[in-house]
Chains A and B, each alone.
Chain A
């Protein structure tokens, strides 16, 4: 069992960790009151609010709590940690095959001489991506989500502890390739960055609106391939802004380097904000 938060064993694993992650294993949720103690039995608040003493043993309990409140608590703790240590954390989301890892490798290489860089890699299986990133010289830790389709704030909190980040680091969290589920899970990041490549459909912002709405920045990758594919850049940007009027858009090619300076400039500007303790403008955290 995990000594930090008491989590049990399960599907998700963090590279180098003995313990697994899963919040609910069989057998740890049954130690509750047996219903025959001396606690509150209010028969007057049945489902239909009918006052029928003795007829119903059920009662209503007001909860009014977000389903993701637990995740959000972990996300808040991560955000506090990042803020205290002047760390810029970016949550990179995209479909599989958008060129996330190639972009990340090029970004790490460009930043590394001036900035401490670390990467959390999320994939269902294998440590291939973390190996790829480590070759570029950054610290990296792999999280395998097993059957899971997204990273959650709890997994990220553990990975952050392992990384022992330096003050002023840039932390890139490469989420599982999936444009659906990661939209709902706050990891405590300063911003979500959605990556779309020109080999995909230009209408993806409309098809996966939750993600494009949650992101602060959209990167349009592989623009070196534009002469060979049928991709309407203007329409794609228009769709993204329909979903999210405030989204920033940067076009680049991680392979040729075109547009990379704009992206690196965006990172450096947000790194300064993280180091000086001012919130990222426009972030809806």
Chain B
């Protein structure tokens, strides 16, 4: 359940942002999650509700934006999209792939009061 820890880190970022940007309540949190980020969306939603209880983000809505997993194929010399870490390049079948996107766990923006 490291989603709990992730939500605690998320809360810390929100709290820091609250004192810098003068807001007291958070209505919505937009979170970008890469397909290869170590986050299970359902566990994240559950943890979010639990961790935010009694804080400035109590009852806030969590919007998850999934980002695709992109890799650089050193044989095709181009960026391709894959679904799983163990996938081969969909064009040439090679496994020598460098991940170029899809590991993001980024707080995009907040709707605040």
Q: How many angstroms from the CA of A150 to the CA of B88 in the assembled complex?
A: 30
| B contact residues around A99 at 8 Å (CB) | none
A209 x B84 contact (CB < 8 A): yes
| Contact flags A211-223 to B (C-beta < 8 A → 1, else 0) | 0010000000000
Q: Return the chain B residue nearest A148 by Cβ.
A: B5
B23 x A63 contact (CB < 8 A): no
By DSSP majority rule, is chain B's interface helix, strand, loop, or mixed?
A: mixed
Q: How many angstroms from the CA of A209 to the CA of B86 in the assembled complex?
A: 7
A63 x B56 contact (CB < 8 A): no
B85 x A63 contact (CB < 8 A): no
Query: Taking the complex as formed, is A113 at the interface, i.e. its CB lies under 8 A from any CB of chain B?
Result: no
Query: Taking the complex as formed, is A164 at the interface, i.e. its CB lies under 8 A from any CB of chain B?
Result: no
A29 x B9 contact (CB < 8 A): no
Q: Return the chain A residue nearest B107 by Cβ.
A: A63
A35 x B9 contact (CB < 8 A): no
A63 x B110 contact (CB < 8 A): yes
| B contact residues around A241 at 8 Å (CB) | 95
- The verdict on A59 contacting B85 (CB below 8 Å), with A66-B106, A245-B95 known, is no
Q: Which of A29, A210, A242, A245 contacts B38 (CB 8 A)?
A: A210
| B contact residues around A245 at 8 Å (CB) | 95-97
| Contact flags B6-19 to A (C-beta < 8 A → 1, else 0) | 10111111010111
Give the residues from 65 to 113 in chain B that come closer than 8 angstroms, CB to CB, to chain A.
84-86, 88, 95-97, 99, 104-113
Q: How many angstroms from the CA of A57 to the CA of B112 in the assembled complex?
A: 8
Query: Taking the complex as formed, is A33 at the interface, i.e. its CB lies under 8 A from any CB of chain B?
Result: yes
Q: How many angstroms from the CA of A70 to the CA of B106 in the assembled complex?
A: 12
Give the residues from 18 to 50 in chain A that come closer than 8 angstroms, CB to CB, to chain B.
23-24, 26, 29-30, 32-35, 37, 39-40, 47
A residues contacting B by CB (< 8 A) are 23-24, 26, 29-30, 32-35, 37, 39-40, 47, 57-71, 148-150, 152, 180-181, 183-185, 205-206, 209-210, 213, 239, 241-243, 245
Considering the complex of A and B, which 5 residue pairs feature the smallest CB-CB distances, nearest first? Answer: A209-B85, A181-B2, A39-B22, A184-B38, A35-B24
